[in-house]
Amino acid sequence: MSAPLILAVGAVYLFVAWDQAMRGNHGMSLAWFGYAVANVGLAMAAK
């Protein structure tokens, strides 16, 4: 996958994390935030 596509998926994960936090589901929010952060590292490795 290309780095921009990986970053786009990371942005979606970040949005889902925010949405879960707004719904009060903080455990899942933290999990989705972790996925988003992991995608940043993956994008850096893909460059």
Boundaries of every domain in the chain: 3-46
pLDDT of residue 12: 98
CB 33 within 8 A of CB 17: yes
pTM for the structure as a whole = 0.89
pLDDT of residue 42: 94
Q: For residues 25 and 16, give the distance between their C-alpha atoms in angstroms, rounded to a whole number.
A: 11
Full pLDDT tens readout for the chain, 47 residues: 699 999 999 999 999 999 999 999 999 999 999 999 999 999 999 98
pLDDT of residue 47: 82
pLDDT of residue 37: 97
Q: For residues 37 and 33, give the distance between their C-alpha atoms in angstroms, rounded to a whole number.
A: 6
